[in-house]
Amino acid sequence: MDKKKESAEVANYWTRRIQFSGKSSYIIALPKRWVDDMKLNAGSEVTITRYGPSSLIITPKEQAPQLVKSEAVIESSTKDHPHSLIRRIISAYLLGYTIIHVKAKEGKFDLRHKEIVKEIVRKSLIGAEVIDESSGHITIQIFLGLPELSVENALRRMFLITASMHKDAINALCDLDHEVAAGVIKVDDEVDRFSLYTIRQLKLAVSDSRILEKIGLDAPRDCLGYRVIVKSVERVADHAASIAQNVLQLKNKLPEEMLTRIRKLSEFALSFFERSSQALFKRDYEAAERLILDASVVEEEVEALLKIIDAASVREQSYIARLVVEDIRRTAEYATDIAEIVLNLTADKILSSKIAA
């Protein structure tokens, strides 16, 4: 290690003895160098925030982050693209604001923009309601009192809905059922709702140990792993919707041999996905590791299936079949990604048990 870097790290590491003062207080002395760097004096105020199960963060009061952001104001013009307005509302939601004001720059919304705001609240933002509305102003409130919907419960719902989407999409393909396929595409919005809600909770939990405890996680470092898992589940749902979209493009059923092999590949991928969820919720390191070791089975099935597809005579069917196979392959791949995160989340337990042994 570079000597300057090493000395800097040493200079920023201090130990202090805890002293007892009075009947119920303990005190420690703050390092003089840190006090000088922060330009603090006797009488200056600092905030103390619990971080995880065993750490505290001390911050000058003026620099302390606002744990609960109260209100955000979004100004929207009739000239703005609707997707721009949607992104800004979602960003405010994810950043933890409890009140979001949407104001019309021209003083009045056109009907399209007003409906967009209501639709995004209704379809995408769990816990959000429009509480005030006028011709040029809409107020959205996010109600935080959802103790029954912990991060784990929200993730369980995401896993269940996504697995069901995948099954329905494959059934729609095998039966060439356009109605079922269209239903799968609609359900994708439900997964997105739980995804946004969970990411919002994880963002808030990183800076507030009280929220961390309420949503059922042990340490702030778990938040990153769970966020990756949320995005992986969301992507699996997207691939199920993609299969359904491709079913809508088909005019004739795929050959039975091809459908049989596709269903078999789907069963492998779905099994991996369900095993990854079980490993996560049971915090099972060994189960996650076994899943990763089994991943080669999917690639072998994909190669065998692509040979059958290449031999097909109808080009349109071959093209769609290849797209479906890729969606299924990616589903299995995301399942192994989730298993990798489970290894990271549970590594401490397996290492501790081996050391103890």
**pLDDT, tens only, 23-72:** 677 888 888 888 888 888 888 888 887 766 677 778 887 766 555 568 89
- What is the Cα–Cα distance from 30 to 42, expressed in whole angstroms? 11
> Residue 214 corresponds to which tokens in the numbers above?
């309420």
- Rounded mean pLDDT of 215-238? 90
Q: Which of 77-81, 128-132, 303-307 has the lowest mean pLDDT?
A: 77-81
Identify the CATH number of the domain defined by range 151-356: 1.20.58.220
pLDDT (mean) for 99-128: 89
CA–CA separation, 238 and 232 (whole Å): 10
* Whole-number pLDDT of residue 51: 64
Check pLDDT > 80 for residue 330.
yes
Evaluate whether 97 touches 72 at the Cβ level (below 8 Å): yes
Mean of the pLDDT values across residues 335-350?
90
What was the pLDDT predicted at 352? 56
How far is the C-alpha of 201 from the C-alpha of 142, rounded, in Å? Answer: 12
Residue 40 is predicted with a pLDDT of: 84
Percent of the chain whose predicted confidence (pLDDT) is above 70: 90
Which amino acid, 249? Q
Range with lowest mean pLDDT among 5-14, 28-37, 83-92, 157-166: 5-14
Amino acid symbol at 27? I
End-to-end Cα distance, the chain:
33
Q: What is the overall mean pLDDT for the chain?
A: 87
E strand residue ranges, the chain: 19-21, 25-27, 46-51, 55-60, 71-76, 99-104, 128-133, 137-142
pLDDT at 6 (0 to 100): 45
pLDDT tier at 204 (50, 70, 90 boundaries)? confident
**d(C-alpha 50, C-alpha 124), whole Å:** 32
Nearest Cα to Cα of residue 73 among 97, 96, 101, 93:
101
Among 164, 193, 156, residue whose Cα is nearest residue 180: 164
Weakest-pLDDT range from 146-155, 271-280, 328-337 = 146-155
The H or E element spanning position 251 is none
Q: Does domain 71-142 sit in CATH 3.40.960.10?
A: no
Query: Of 165, 299, 161, 160, whose CA–CA distance to 243 is shortest?
Result: 165
Across-strand partners of 275?
none
Across 33-47, 111-125, 279-293, 342-356, least confident range: 342-356
What local confidence, expressed as pLDDT, does residue 5 receive? 47
Cα four-point dihedral sign 353, 211, 234, 185 = positive
**Number of H-type helices and E-type strands within the chain:** 12, 8
Would you list the domain boundaries of the chain? 12-63, 71-142, 151-356
